[in-house]
Every structure is written in structure tokens, then in C-alpha cells.
């Protein structure tokens, strides 16, 4: 999901990473290009849109199906987390009754959107009586989706793929207490890839495509490992629910799922900056998984950067 800039990381991004490792190499920029001008215009629009997000997050938080007491307590947890952060202590927040580690100072605010997204947009649109017990989370980031899903479905087993090695310590810390959640440090790609692009301190903006990184500066390169078939490491060929959030790389990830049985597919579809026709994406879904019904779609128009889509497959 999109996240505002973390000013606390701007200085660190010029030298070493927060883990003490050398900073990743910069991607050469072309400031005079059309793509660069479009990115500047889009960034200005994003900054304006960010002013509305606090209200949107809080609305999503109060529309979720968690208890009123838990919702109220979270505001105190936010204050406590930011107080620790200001004192240079570990970035953690109490979320859904468990400690959640993060890299971006906006993450505790962004977490407010997940209970409604997972509880209502996804689980609330599955057919009556269907419970996802085997889930594939592609683009797991810090574990926001997996942790929230397990809050609503404690018995679900989740395979999480996340190639960004800089945030694996946080992801593993967030999911380690959850038995049945497995983390796989790989990108999914039909052809081998060895690097991804990201904005330091804003891990949710990373992508295997440099021009898809939501960066206010110049994105950095980071070495990654990839696999072309998730079942080669997970051992599973069938999933009740597959979630994909890979910042423009959806089409290529879907190619890696050929031959698998998928009952529900929840994907963050690229809009404004999409690198593929939506028709190609939908035709590939039908070709690989069969006929489907759209059971949820987020609001979108010509300016939408991305939007969620939930598909239910026959059989």
C-alpha cells in the first residue's frame, strides 16, 4: 500500500542502511524525460492526497469488525510507539494484541486500514461458510496482511513471499509468534531476477520494476533471489486464497502460478502507471484458473494508482 515519506530516513539513505549495511546503489535518473515529469506531477498529487488520508484511515478503522475497546486503545498505542520512536528506540506498535515491528513511521497509521480491508473487503466477500485455511501472500512486506488475516482466521496457514532482505527481520519478528505462517525470502518471477528497487525507509513502495517505485527521490537497487514456481519451496499446489501486492509486477507473478488451483484471488491492480493492459491480466487469470466472478473491486478512475480486486473462481 502507498505510504507517505519517512523524513527520519532521509539522512540514513545517503550513507548506510538502518541495518548498518552499505546503502544500495542508486538507479540512474533522467530528470528531463517525460516519465520524470509525469512522476513529479504525480508526486504533487500524492502530497495533496496525503492530507486526506488521516481521515480515510480513521474511517476505515471504525468501519472494521474489531471491538470498540481495541479501537480506542490503539490511539494510546500510537502515541506510545511514536514517543519511543522519537527517543530513538525500536519501532514497534501494539497492533491487534501483539507487537508489530516497522520501518516507516507512517506504518502504525497505515495499519488502521487493514482490519476493514481483510475483514470486510476480503473475508466478507467470500461465499457463506467458506473459510480460507491455506493462503499465499505474495508481496508480504512487514506482514500486515498475514498478521491481520490470522487475527480473523486463527487456523489459517499462510505462506508469505517477500524478497526485500532489509525488512526480513521485521517480517519474521511479526510472524514468528504465529504458528503456521512461513516466510519465504524470494521474489516470484517467470525468469530469474537478481535485484529490486525501493525507497529506503519506505519498504512498501518497493518493486521489481524501477519505474513503479513510489519514490520522492531516486530509488535504490537491492539484490534479491527469485523462484519461478512457489510450490517448489512451499510444497503446495492449491490455495484457498492468494493475495498479490507487487507494485506493477502482477502479470509476471501470475505467470508463476500456472498449474495451481486457486479458489480466491485478491490482487492490487496497477492503474495509472500500469505497464500492461488490464485485459491481458484478466485473460491470463481466466486461462490459468478458469471462469471467475468479480466479488469485490475498490473504487478506481483514470487517476487511480492502484485498486484492489477480488475474484472467485468456479469450482
Give the model confidence (pLDDT) of 248-262 as tens digits. Answer: 889 999 999 999 999
- Round the average pLDDT of the chain to a whole number and report it: 84
Q: Are 182 and 234 in contact (CB under 8 A)?
A: yes
Share of the chain above pLDDT 90, in %: 63
C-alpha cell at 201: 525507509
The whole model's pTM is what?
0.81
Query: Which pLDDT does position 14 carry in this prediction?
Result: 35
Burial bucket for residue 88 (CB in 10 Å: 0-12, 13-18, 19+): exposed
* Buried-exposed string 127-141: b where 16+ CB fall within 10 A, e elsewhere: eeeeebebbbbbbbb
* pLDDT of 22 over the 50 cut: no
Domain boundaries, the chain: 25-313
Compute the average pLDDT of residues 77-89.
96
Q: What are phi and psi of 143, to 5 degrees?
A: 100, 15
Tell me which residue has cell 519478528: 173
- In angstroms, the CA 106 to CA 60 distance is 16
Task: Give the pLDDT band of residue 198 (cuts 50, 70, 90).
Answer: low
Give SS3 for 212.
helix
Q: Mind listing the pLDDT tens digit for each residue in 31-57?
A: 456 665 566 556 555 654 554 578 889
Q: Taking the CB of residue 78, how many other CB atoms lie within 10 A of it?
A: 17
Q: State the pLDDT at residue 281.
A: 95
Helices 144-152 & 168-175, crossing angle to 10 degrees?
A: 10
Residue 72: what pLDDT? Answer: 97
For residue 24, the model assigns a pLDDT of 46
Whether CATH 3.30.2320.80 fits 25-313: no
CA gap 2, 304 in Å, rounded:
12
pLDDT in tens, 116-148: 999 999 999 999 999 999 999 999 999 999 999
Top pLDDT among 116 and 29 is at 116
Residue closest to 285 by CA, chosen among 240, 247, 253: 253
pLDDT, position 195: 76
Amino acid at each position: 500500500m502507498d505510504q507517505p515519506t519517512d523524513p527520519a530516513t532521509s539522512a540514513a539513505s545517503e550513507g548506510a542502511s538502518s541495518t548498518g549495511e552499505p546503502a544500495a546503489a542508486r538507479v540512474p535518473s533522467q530528470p528531463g524525460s517525460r516519465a520524470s515529469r509525469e512522476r513529479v506531477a504525480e508526486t504533487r498529487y500524492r502530497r495533496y492526497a496525503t492530507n486526506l488520508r488521516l481521515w480515510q484511515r480513521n474511517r476505515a478503522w471504525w468501519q472494521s469488525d474489531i471491538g470498540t475497546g481495541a479501537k480506542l486503545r490503539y490511539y494510546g498505542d500510537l502515541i506510545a510507539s511514536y514517543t519511543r520512536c522519537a527517543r530513538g528506540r525500536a519501532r514497534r506498535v501494539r497492533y491487534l494484541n501483539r507487537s508489530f515491528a516497522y520501518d516507516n513511521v507512517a506504518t502504525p497509521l497505515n495499519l488502521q486500514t487493514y482490519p476493514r480491508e481483510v475483514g470486510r473487503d476480503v473475508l466478507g466477500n467470500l461465499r457463506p461458510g467458506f473459510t480460507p485455511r491455506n493462503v499465499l501472500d505474495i508481496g508480504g512486506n512487514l506482514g500486515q496482511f498475514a498478521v491481520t488475516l490470522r487475527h480473523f482466521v486463527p487456523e489459517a496457514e499462510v505462506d508469505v513471499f517477500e524478497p526485500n532482505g532489509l525488512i526480513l527481520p521485521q517480517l519474521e519478528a511479526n510472524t514468528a509468534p504465529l504458528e503456521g505462517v512461513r516466510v519465504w525470502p524470494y521474489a516470484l518471477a517467470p525468469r530469474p531476477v537478481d535485484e529490486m528497487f525501493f525507497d529506503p525507509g519506505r519498504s512498501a513502495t518497493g518493486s521489481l520494476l524501477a519505474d513503479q517505485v513510489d519514490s520522492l527521490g531516486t530509488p535504490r537497487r537491492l539484490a534479491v533471489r527469485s523462484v519461478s514456481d512457489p510450490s517448489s519451496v512451499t510444497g503446495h499446489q492449491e490455495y484457498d486464497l492468494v493475495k498479490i501486492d507487487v507494485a506493477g509486477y502482477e502479470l509476471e507473478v501470475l505467470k508463476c502460478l500456472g498449474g495451481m488451483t486457486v479458489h480466491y484471488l485478491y490482487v492490487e491492480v496497477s492503474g495509472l502507471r500500469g505497464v500492461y493492459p488490464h485485459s491481458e491480466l484478466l485473460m491470463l487469470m481466466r486461462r490459468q484458473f478458469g471462469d471467475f466472478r468479480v466479488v469485490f473491486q475498490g473504487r478506481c478512475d483514470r487517476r487511480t494508482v492502484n485498486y484492489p480486486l477480488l475474484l472467485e473462481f468456479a469450482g
